[in-house]
């Protein structure tokens, strides 16, 4: 995983380097062709608009249906009507259906009862941009499409600093040799002076003797102790911390897709964050709110979503929950979901082949691996998904999400990083006490907005009114006291 | 000779100023286990096992250190999350604690679907939101590893549990078939139970009867009110305990009735009683007068203003004397009966005078189980005009329904072979808790089918053929009617535990009965058949008693939400019709033997039903302060003011944690008992608690039973002519000392605060110049070496006084407080500045404890244990002063040495703003918060214990051993008994996953080697503040309540923000009786106590 990632980074770096040069060369040509640039700007604007408005229901590959139909080829399908009809459809579809527009009626019959959200604020230009983006995505000829080929939210690596370690090491070596040579020269000169003055020692210390002298050995031991102590303490502090921890999860759930691309609010799934100590990992039935409609994933197809269906007992072929799923024998479960995977394979392929069989078996094995946990005594497919916990606090530390999210109004990203850009979630913050304390020192309390704070802390209010105090931090109201977090 | 003492004392050694006491008071850490461990370690021999142990440890340590591999932790979400549950947020359900006749309306706190704490339900007009120690501890019994996990057959006195772990036992279908097969329509069936308060359970039994007409329900109570019921039946035609109104009574005379601790409805009575006992305005100070007639110091007696000491057998004579005195004044015929000594009679007459002065506002109650005596008590109350005033029958209590004579008949029938089948309900344990248990056991062998519904095996279960365990009340549906018209619902707060684990599981007893009867009334196809049954019954009866709801569903939802449905009946007019002279003839004749013994119920153990609950076993008895067992209370005398004599000079080494064991002979049956000296125990009498000495206690209990906690006193009880059990014996005889109990676990001398300076003769040392008692503190400071280390004079720990002299008391307190304040001003630390800058804004948490309202019942103590994950340590560890309770209730005596008054003082961390513990911590693990909390940070604590040494209140506790099994490496884990008490899996208590389900997830489970103490329930403070912040409003009093506060039935403890002038605690801080314990040492504590005031009168002093 890490290997692949770094390779890709390198490739994209080279690519970018090349591109810059080509860009420089073609500068004049580019200036001569303003229309192309304009097109690209329009498509980029369209992309943003699509993500913000359409992507919640329409598949971004434009080829497959989601909650709403695949949008590729929209303009062709509406070609027999005036352009304004399509535009007003996008702005307010129900009005068109009520008006009895033939194309609108046809779509309604196909998709009812799901109605498309109205977007009355979209301008003609914006709609044109969206359509342009849809068209180029569908046809696969968007400018810069190659760069966007990978997962959309793959974080773009910042230009890495050149590795200077070798240089430093060389420099250090040269300096050390220089010091040695100079020391030697000095000692020779000293010796010569002594000889000149006629009180030269009988024996001149060799280099080996100097290096093995008591002073040098003492210095080396001292240095080793200091260095060793420093390393030990540093590592001891790190013991038990797992910043950057990025375990593999039973389901390849992508926050980049859900939070980043689809812009689903964090608290839609993590609904404990505003009212509980725990942010709460969503129950599988929360997933089902959307995935009753979205049954095939954009990245992994049936591989990951079927795991959720198998956990809760949802039959995606008939769109029904299986009664008495808890008692269903494993063989039946296997048959059911293998069939589902197979059916989906056949959607894209003409017939079952060896590769197809292998895929079905692989995906089924994945389901078994994700949902069974024999070492914990869980030998059933049915039942909860056991996620790997990433953020672990020690037992003696009390943390409350509601306090930070509801009262402190802290953004999730402050502690969890840009989760919306993470394909696989990793621990962003060190979760160390020093890190907590620093934040409590700096963060300002929402002193003016909350009636609770208004009722207390009379002195701070006076000081603020008198201009003696500009802000009240968490520390000021006792946020560094032990028993705020340890009890 | 009467010797009055103005000071308070805690025991004999305190009075004699024994050097051992001086030492004990100074010694914070008693008998370090380190010494023993060191001894073992120093032994030269190193065994192969040791070598392997060290090798294993080193390997483990190296792996951890080198690998630094952090174990992968899983997070398992719900598949389908129930709407009502948000992980991390507690959900409360209204339910009802019922155990036989014990009742409490409760709110059950659950976290992620498991109950962790029980609170009182303030919507109940019966318990008013109060609880008892038993109620608080009931949540632990849900997770008792002794519980049976399914139905079993019993052969040869052993429950047939498969020896292979987790092997499946018989299924319910199998057992049902076998039992049904043995029942014939004409079978003579008996259902034996303690009091059943549930209307629906009774309906189920009626339905069962419809199929088996020869069925009879027999109810009894281990501590019976049989005579009371019979007397009321005779006098008023009402075979119930009436509705007593202690809140309306200005004079209360109680003959041996422990109404604050155990008698009928103690939570209700304590709340009522406290209303007339607390003093808020000294100008208009009023207080009821409470006179207790008894021989043993009961919890209620310890709260009384006067105790009249009367032998158990002379109780009847006392009642006759009172009757005659009242009758003489009210023109009723006198009766002839046994006589008291003239001294005692004078006191009883004084009580009669008091009662007569408050006709209609007085109350006489009696715990006696003699019908004649109860009829006379009724006659007294009738003569005083108390019926319709302080006693009425409309809302009569249904909490005691057992009739002793019924159970006597059952035992006879069984032995005569006239019973074909017997079903024994949960709680009832007749093979143990009957005086004729032996005959009962004999009779059992003649019964064809014997089935026990007991949740955990007991003495009776092993005599049965089948164990068909019922649910714990926290898993059950049900109802209760503690008083006429006061209904209360029981709803499950967790899915039945064992069935959820894939075992056969438990099943509600009522459902089992209905299934065996194959009646049509139970819808066996339903998901929860008994719920349907319960709802149907409520629809047919309770729903019709109200008019607020039009549909049953709405009514049901409301009742289930509230937990209670109360439709009080109109009061019933009654006329007394009893034959007093016939009653007087039945009265007991005083015994002539030198030594009598009374058997009494304690607040923790009941009749033995609670013996399997370690929280209750380890809760010190409020009066004698002993744990894990019943101890024989012997009287002490204090002669001439400086010499004491105990019975047969026993127990001279109590202070060293050693007690004598004696052989006691009663009715020619002998048992060996540990002795405890008890002030207030009448000369010539002994006292011993019942409910101990259980033999069969299930898996965890098996281990308990190996050493048998305490002695079983039921065989010593007798039965009178009416068939009523008598809770005393006349012919007690101490045969002789056998040996010494080296692990005498009595917390009396643990954690003592302050010592009154006396010389070796016990005389108070006076300052030569002033003649006043020497202030050793000052002396020590002024002239180095002149004072006595640790000898402290007249520290302000307890203030007490008489109601008559209340102004004087208030003045005295004011004087002492002014003096203390003046002393406290002489400081180099700018306390005023801190106070102004830090504590004046935001919150400042304060607590107020009213010593007049505190009855010492111990509910707060158990509540604290449940809330804060306080470990259980066992008898041996308590003996070593290692009890871990964060809140203790100190018991002090004052007044007459031989018949003293008692004051209870709940003592917890005082959260001093100038805390001595904080300055001495080398690692700042204990420090102060801006809200005035004395914070303890366990993860920073390195266990020097300097803080505990420096704490003047002695409230800090040290985890000597790994009591909670929270340590990374299992070393020094604590087994609870001398003989290494193992649970079923050979694990220490708290290591079992089932037991651990009781832990509060918001409170750290402390490991070995750290200090812990009361945190003022900081987790509740933080939660309350968060609620206010989220709702963007100021904090209300109701947002933050400590566990001890919510548990208290009398409202003695109030907690809140002292900075908020409108808070309840701020209002209470204005009470002129308030004082701060040890105020003179300038620690600026946050807890204030209101001084104890008694309402004494000279008429009772002889």
Dist. CA A403–CA B744, nearest whole Å: 48
A208-217, A221-230, B190-199: range with lowest mean pLDDT: A208-217
CB contact burial B299-327 (16+ within 10 A = b; e otherwise):
bbbbbbbbbbbbbbbbbbbbbbbbbbbbb
C-alpha distance from residue B362 to each of B242, B384, B582 (Å): 15, 7, 25
Residues 431-460 in A contacting B (C-alpha not used; CB under 8 Å): 449-453, 455-460
Q: Does A242 touch chain B (CB under 8 A)?
A: yes
Chains A–B, number of C-beta pairs less than 8 Å apart: 158
Predicted model pTM: 0.82
Dist. CA B788–CA B765, nearest whole Å: 11
Q: Which among A312, A460, A482 is the nearest to B79, CB-wise?
A: A312
Dist. CA B615–CA B305, nearest whole Å: 31
Mean pLDDT of the region B729-757: 79
Q: Does B999 touch chain A (CB under 8 A)?
A: no
Tell whether the torsion through CA atoms of B50, B52, B55 and B56 is positive or negative: negative
Min Cα separation B616/chain A (Å): 25
Residue (of B909, B908, B935, B907) closest to B921 by Cα position? B935
Dist. CA A321–CA A314, nearest whole Å: 4
Residue (of B818, B945, B836) closest to B882 by Cα position? B945
How much is the CA Rg of chain B, to the nearest whole Å?
A: 29
Bridge partner list, B632:
B675
Check B929 against A482: CB less than 8 A apart: yes
Residue (of B521, B422, B1091) closest to B811 by Cα position? B1091
Check A478 against B929: CB less than 8 A apart: yes
pLDDT tens digit string along B174-192? 999 999 999 999 999 999 9
Residues of A in contact with B87 (CB under 8 A): 272, 276, 278, 280
Q: Maximum distance among all alpha carbons in chain A? A: 120
Min Cα separation B988/chain A (Å): 21
Mutate to test the interface with A, among B62, B64, B79, B1059 (most CBs of A within 10 A): B79
Distance between alpha carbon A245 and the CA centroid of its chain, in Å? Answer: 13
Check B74 against A482: CB less than 8 A apart: no
A223-232, B80-89, B514-523, B790-799: range with lowest mean pLDDT: B790-799
Mutate to test the interface with A, among B70, B72, B75, B993 (most CBs of A within 10 A): B75
Dist. CA B373–CA B727, nearest whole Å: 14
- Cis status, amide bond into A113, omega within 30 of 0: yes
Check A451 against B929: CB less than 8 A apart: no
Q: Which among B80, B931, B1030 is the nearest to A406, CB-wise?
A: B1030
Dist. CA B89–CA B116, nearest whole Å: 12
Q: Which among B1005, B1018, B1034 is the nearest to A452, CB-wise?
A: B1034
Residue B628, C-beta contacts closer than 8 angstroms, at least 6 positions apart: B617, B618, B709, B710, B745, B874, B875, B878
pLDDT tens digit string along B1002-1042? 999 998 889 999 999 999 999 999 999 999 999 999 999 99
Dist. CA B615–CA B445, nearest whole Å: 35
Check A483 against B1028: CB less than 8 A apart: no
Q: How confident is the model at residue A106 (pLDDT cuts 50, 70, 90)?
A: confident
pLDDT tens digit string along A242-289? 888 899 999 999 999 899 888 889 989 998 998 999 999 999 988 998
| Helix (H) or strand (E) run with residue B114 in it | strand B114-120
Dist. CA A487–CA B165, nearest whole Å: 37
Q: How confident is the model at residue A11 (pLDDT cuts 50, 70, 90)?
A: very low
| Helix (H) or strand (E) run with residue B423 in it | strand B421-424
Helix-strand-coil split of chain A, %, nearest 5: 55, 0, 40
> What pLDDT, on a 0 to 100 scale, did the predictor assign at position B877?
84
Residue (of B107, B198, B84) closest to B563 by Cα position? B107
Count of residues making up chain B: 1102
Mutate to test the interface with B, among A483, A484, A485, A486 (most CBs of B within 10 A): A483
Residues of A in contact with B931 (CB under 8 A): 478
Q: State ipTM.
A: 0.83
> What pLDDT, on a 0 to 100 scale, did the predictor assign at position B356?
93
* Beta-strand runs (E) in B180-309: 189-193, 215-219, 241-244, 251-255, 289-294, 306-309
pLDDT tens digit string along B281-327? 888 888 999 999 999 999 999 999 999 999 999 999 999 999 999 99
Q: Does A284 touch chain B (CB under 8 A)?
A: yes
| Helix (H) or strand (E) run with residue B509 in it | helix B509-517
Min Cα separation A418/chain B (Å): 21
Indicate if the pLDDT at residue B976 is higher than 50: yes
Dist. CA B365–CA B125, nearest whole Å: 22
Indicate if the pLDDT at residue A372 is higher than 90: no
Indicate if the pLDDT at residue A60 is higher than 50: yes
> In which residue are the tokens 């693990």 written?
B925
Check A283 against B77: CB less than 8 A apart: yes
Dist. CA B228–CA B221, nearest whole Å: 13
Percent of chain B clearing pLDDT 70 (strictly above):
87
Q: Does B41 touch chain A (CB under 8 A)?
A: no
Min Cα separation B86/chain A (Å): 7
Residues of B in contact with A282 (CB under 8 A): 77
- Report whether B295 contacts B732 (CB < 8 A): no
Helices (H) and strands (E) in chain A, counts: 22, 3
Count of residues making up chain A: 487
Q: Does B1018 touch chain A (CB under 8 A)?
A: yes
Check B73 against A477: CB less than 8 A apart: no
> In which residue are the tokens 């005035």 written?
B932
Dist. CA B1011–CA B934, nearest whole Å: 13
Mean pLDDT over each residue of chain B, to the nearest integer: 86
**Which token pair is B409?**
């008949």
| Helix (H) or strand (E) run with residue B957 in it | strand B957-958
């Amino acid at each position: 995983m890490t290997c692949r990632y770094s390779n890709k980074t390198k490739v994209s770096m080279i690519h970018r380097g090349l591109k810059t040069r080509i860009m420089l060369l073609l500068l004049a040509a580019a200036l001569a062709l303003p229309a192309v640039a304009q097109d690209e700007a329009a498509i980029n604007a369209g992309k943003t608009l699509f993500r913000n408005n359409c992507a919640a229901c329409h598949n971004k590959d434009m080829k497959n249906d989601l909650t709403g139909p695949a949008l590729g080829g929209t303009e062709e399908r509406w070609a027999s009507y005036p352009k304004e009809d399509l535009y007003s459809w996008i702005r307010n579809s129900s009005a068109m259906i009520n008006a009895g527009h033939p194309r609108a009626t046809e779509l309604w019959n196909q998709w009812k009862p799901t109605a498309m959200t109205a977007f009355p604020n979209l301008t003609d230009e914006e709609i044109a941009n969206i359509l342009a983006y849809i068209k180029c995505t569908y046809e696969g000829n968007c400018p810069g499409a190659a760069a966007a080929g990978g997962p959309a939210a793959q974080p773009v690596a910042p230009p890495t600093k050149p590795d200077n370690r070798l240089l430093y090491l060389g420099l250090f070596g040269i300096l050390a040799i220089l010091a040695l040579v100079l020391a030697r020269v000095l000692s020779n000169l000293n010796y010569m002076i002594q000889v000149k003055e006629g009180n030269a020692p009988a024996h001149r210390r060799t280099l080996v003797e100097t290096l093995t002298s008591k002073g040098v050995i003492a210095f080396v031991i001292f240095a080793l102790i200091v260095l060793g102590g420093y390393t030990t303490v540093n590592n001891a502090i790190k013991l038990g911390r797992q910043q950057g921890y990025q375990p593999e999860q039973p389901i390849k759930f992508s926050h980049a897709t859900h939070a980043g691309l689809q812009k689903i609010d964090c608290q839609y799934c993590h609904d404990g964050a505003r009212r509980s100590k725990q942010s709460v990992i969503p129950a599988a039935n929360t997933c089902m709110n959307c995935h009753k409609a979205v049954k095939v994933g954009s990245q992994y197809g049936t591989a990951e979503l079927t795991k959720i269906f198998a956990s809760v007992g949802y039959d995606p072929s008939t769109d029904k929950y299986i009664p008495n799923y808890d008692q269903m024998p494993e063989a039946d479960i296997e048959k059911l979901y293998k069939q589902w995977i197979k059916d989906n394979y056949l959607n894209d392929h003409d017939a079952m082949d060896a590769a197809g069989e292998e895929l079905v078996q692989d995906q089924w094995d994945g389901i078994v691996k994700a949902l069974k946990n024999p070492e914990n005594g869980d030998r059933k497919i049915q039942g909860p998904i056991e996620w790997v916990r990433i953020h672990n606090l020690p037992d003696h530390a009390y943390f409350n999400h509601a306090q930070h999210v509801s009262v402190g109004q802290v953004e999730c990203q402050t502690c969890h990083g840009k989760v919306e850009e993470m394909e696989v979630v990793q621990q962003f913050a060190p979760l160390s006490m020093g890190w907590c304390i620093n934040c409590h020192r700096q963060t300002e309390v929402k002193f003016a907005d909350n009636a609770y704070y208004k009722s207390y802390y009379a002195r701070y209010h006076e000081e603020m009114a008198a201009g003696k105090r500009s802000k009240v931090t968490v520390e000021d109201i006792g946020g560094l006291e032990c028993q705020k977090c340890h009890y | 000779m009467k010797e009055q003492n103005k000071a308070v004392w805690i025991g004999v050694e305190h009075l004699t100023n024994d050097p051992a006491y001086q030492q004990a008071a100074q010694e914070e850490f008693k008998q370090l286990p380190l010494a023993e461990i060191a001894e073992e370690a120093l032994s030269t021999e190193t065994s192969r096992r040791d070598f392997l142990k060290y090798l294993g440890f080193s390997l483990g340590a190296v792996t951890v250190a080198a690998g630094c591999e952090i174990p992968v932790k899983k997070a398992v979400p719900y598949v389908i999350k129930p709407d009502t549950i948000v992980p991390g947020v507690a959900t409360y359900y209204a339910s009802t604690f019922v155990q036989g006749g014990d009742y409490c309306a409760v709110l059950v706190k659950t976290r992620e679907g498991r109950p962790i704490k029980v609170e009182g339900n303030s919507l109940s007009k019966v318990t008013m939101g109060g609880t008892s120690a038993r109620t608080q501890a009931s949540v632990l019994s849900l997770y008792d590893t002794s519980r049976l996990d399914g139905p079993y057959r019993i052969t040869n006195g052993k429950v047939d549990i498969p020896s292979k772990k987790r092997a499946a036992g018989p299924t319910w279908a199998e057992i049902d078939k076998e039992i049904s097969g043995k029942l014939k329509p004409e079978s003579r069936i008996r259902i034996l139970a303690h009091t059943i308060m549930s209307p629906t359970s009774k309906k189920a039994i009626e339905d069962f009867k419809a199929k088996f007409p020869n069925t009879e329900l027999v109810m009894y109570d281990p501590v019976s009110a049989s005579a009371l019921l019979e007397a009321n039946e005779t006098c008023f035609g009402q075979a119930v305990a009436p509705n007593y109104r202690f809140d309306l009574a200005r004079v209360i005379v109680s003959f041996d009735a422990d109404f604050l601790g155990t008698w009928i409805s103690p939570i209700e009575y304590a709340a009522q009683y406290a209303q007339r006992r607390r003093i808020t305005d000294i100008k208009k100070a009023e207080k009821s007068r409470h006179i207790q007639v008894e021989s043993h110091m009961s919890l209620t007696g310890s709260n009384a203003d006067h105790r009249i000491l009367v032998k158990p057998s002379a109780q009847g004579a006392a009642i006759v004397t009172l009757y005659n005195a009242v009758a003489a004044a009210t023109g009723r015929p006198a009766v002839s009966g046994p006589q008291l000594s003239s001294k005692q009679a004078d006191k009883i007459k004084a009580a009669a005078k008091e009662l007569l002065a408050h006709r209609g506002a007085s109350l006489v109650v009696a715990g006696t189980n003699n019908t004649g005596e109860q009829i006379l008590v009724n006659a007294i109350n009738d003569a005083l005009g108390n019926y319709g005033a302080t006693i009425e029958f409309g809302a009569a209590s249904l909490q005691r329904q057992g009739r002793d004579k019924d159970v006597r008949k059952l035992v006879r029938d069984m032995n005569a072979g006239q019973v074909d089948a017997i079903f024994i309900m949960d709680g009832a344990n007749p093979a143990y808790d009957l005086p004729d248990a032996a005959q009962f056991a004999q009779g059992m062998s003649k019964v064809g089918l014997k089935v026990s519904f007991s949740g955990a095996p007991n003495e009776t279960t092993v005599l049965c053929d089948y164990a068909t365990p019922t649910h714990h009340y926290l898993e059950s549906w049900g109802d209760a009617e503690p008083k006429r018209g006061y209904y209360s619902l029981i709803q499950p707060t967790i899915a039945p535990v064992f069935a959820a684990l894939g075992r056969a599981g438990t099943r509600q007893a009522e459902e089992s009965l209905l299934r065996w009867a194959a009646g049509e009334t139970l819808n066996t196809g339903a998901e929860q058949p008994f719920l349907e049954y319960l709802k149907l019954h409520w629809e047919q009866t309770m729903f019709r008693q109200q008019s607020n709801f039009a549909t049953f569903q709405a009514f049901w939802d409301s009742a289930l939400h509230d937990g209670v449905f109360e439709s009080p009946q109109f009061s019933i007019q009654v006329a007394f019709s009893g034959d007093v002279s016939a009653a007087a003839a039945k009265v007991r004749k005083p015994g002539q033997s030198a030594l009598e013994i009374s058997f009494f119920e304690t607040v923790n153990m009941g009749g033995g039903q609670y013996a399997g609950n370690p929280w209750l076993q380890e809760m010190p008895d409020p009066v004698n302060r002993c744990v894990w067992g019943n101890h024989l209370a012997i009287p002490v005398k204090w002669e001439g003011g400086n010499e004491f004599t105990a019975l047969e000079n026993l127990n001279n080494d109590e202070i060293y944690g050693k007690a004598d064991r004696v052989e006691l002979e009663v009715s020619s049956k002998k048992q060996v008992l540990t002795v405890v000296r008890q002030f207030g125990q009448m000369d010539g009498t002994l006292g011993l608690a019942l409910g101990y000495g259980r033999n069969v206690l299930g898996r965890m209990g098996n281990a308990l039973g190996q050493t048998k906690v305490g002695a079983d006193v039921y065989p010593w009880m007798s039965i009178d002519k009416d068939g009523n059990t008598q809770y005393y014996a006349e012919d007690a005889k101490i045969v002789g000392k056998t040996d010494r109990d080296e692990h005498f676990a009595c917390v009396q001398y643990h954690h003592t605060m302050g010592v009154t300076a006396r010389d070796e003769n016990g005389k108070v040392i006076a300052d030569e110049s002033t003649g006043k008692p020497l202030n050793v503190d000052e002396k020590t400071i002024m002239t180095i070496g002149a004072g006595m280390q640790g000898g402290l004079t007249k520290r302000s720990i307890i203030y007490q006084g008489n109601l008559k002299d209340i102004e004087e008391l208030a003045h005295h307190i004011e004087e002492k407080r002014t003096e203390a304040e003046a002393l406290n001003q002489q400081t180099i630390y700018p306390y005023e500045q801190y106070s102004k800058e830090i504590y004046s804004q935001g919150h400042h948490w304060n607590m107020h404890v009213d010593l007049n309202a505190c009855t010492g019942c111990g509910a707060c103590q158990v509540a604290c244990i449940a809330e804060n994950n306080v470990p259980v340590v066992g008898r041996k560890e308590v003996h070593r002063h290692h009890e871990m309770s964060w809140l203790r209730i100190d018991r002090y005596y004052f007044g007459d040495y031989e018949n003293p008054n008692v004051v209870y003082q709940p003592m917890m961390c005082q959260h001093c703003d100038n805390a001595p513990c904080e300055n001495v911590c080398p690692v700042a693990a204990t420090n102060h918060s801006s809200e005035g909390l004395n914070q303890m940070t366990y993860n920073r604590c390195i266990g020097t214990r300097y803080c505990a040494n420096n704490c003047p209140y002695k409230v800090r506790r040290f985890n000597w051993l790994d009591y909670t099994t929270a340590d990374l490496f299992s070393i020094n884990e604590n087994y609870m008994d001398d003989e290494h008490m193992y649970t079923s899996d050979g694990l220490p208590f708290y290591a079992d996953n089932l037991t651990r389900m009781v832990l509060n997830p918001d409170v750290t489970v402390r490991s070995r080697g750290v200090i812990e103490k009361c945190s003022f329930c900081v987790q509740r403070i933080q939660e309350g503040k968060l609620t206010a912040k989220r709702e963007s409003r100021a904090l209300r009093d109701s947002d933050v309540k400590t566990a001890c506060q919510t548990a208290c039935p009398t409202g003695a403890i109030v907690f809140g923000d002292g900075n908020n002038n409108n808070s309840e605690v701020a209002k209470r801080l204005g009470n002129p009786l308030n004082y701060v314990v040890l105020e003179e040492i300038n620690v600026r504590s946050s807890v204030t106590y209101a001084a104890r005031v008694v309402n004494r009168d000279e008429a009772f002093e002889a």
